[in-house]
Amino acid sequence: MTGSGSAIQSTAKRSEQYADLQLSLAGLLDGEQDLIANAANFAALVYHTLPDLNWAGCYFLRGEELVLGPFQGRPACVRIAMGRGVCGAAAQRRASVLVHDVHEFPGHIACDPVSRSELVVPLIRDGELLGVFDLDSPLPGRFNEEDRAGMETAARTLMAASPG
């Protein structure tokens, strides 16, 4: 059984996607340290490398709330309080949050009603939480543990490239 669309992707395919992503990231971030510039290219690269996304982008921590940063996709909510929604939960826990069905995540913030699953990874530099990176998909169950690991590695690469 192959399932519909590409929600069910083979492990080999996913690992190739993350290998490609890491390779492209190394080239894209090389020689540039500005966090906003690197975050903008990071969001664009993720959005165009991984299939079945309708949004990919950053929220940066500003005081006690998350504020929208560089992204790809439809316009989104600008400010998210710490602990609110999937992004706020990931920021508060300083850990990735993987949601197979956003309708079953209490407090999910629906910036785009089309979104059905979500993965948020924290952006941590030298032990300091700078924000989160959020990926949304219109397919339920789009993300799995391989996506979590791949995006955590990618986020660490972004942080290392932009030492501040």
Can you give the binding site for ligand SME, defined by CB under 6 A?
55, 76-77, 80, 85-88, 108-109, 111, 115, 118, 134, 136
Residue partners of 119: CB distance under 8 A and separation at least 6: 96, 97, 98, 99, 134, 135, 143, 147, 148, 151
Q: Which residues pair with 66 in a beta bridge?
A: 61, 80
Query: What is the nearest approach in angstroms of ligand SME to the Cβ of residue 135?
Result: 9
Q: Are 146 and 16 contacting, i.e. CB atoms less than 8 angstroms apart?
A: no
* Residue with smaller CB distance to ligand SME, 23 or 36: 36
* Residue with smaller CB distance to ligand SME, 18 or 55: 55
* Residue with smaller CB distance to ligand SME, 76 or 149: 76
Q: Which residue is nearest to ligand SME (CB)?
A: 85
Amino acid, single-letter form, for residue 17: Q
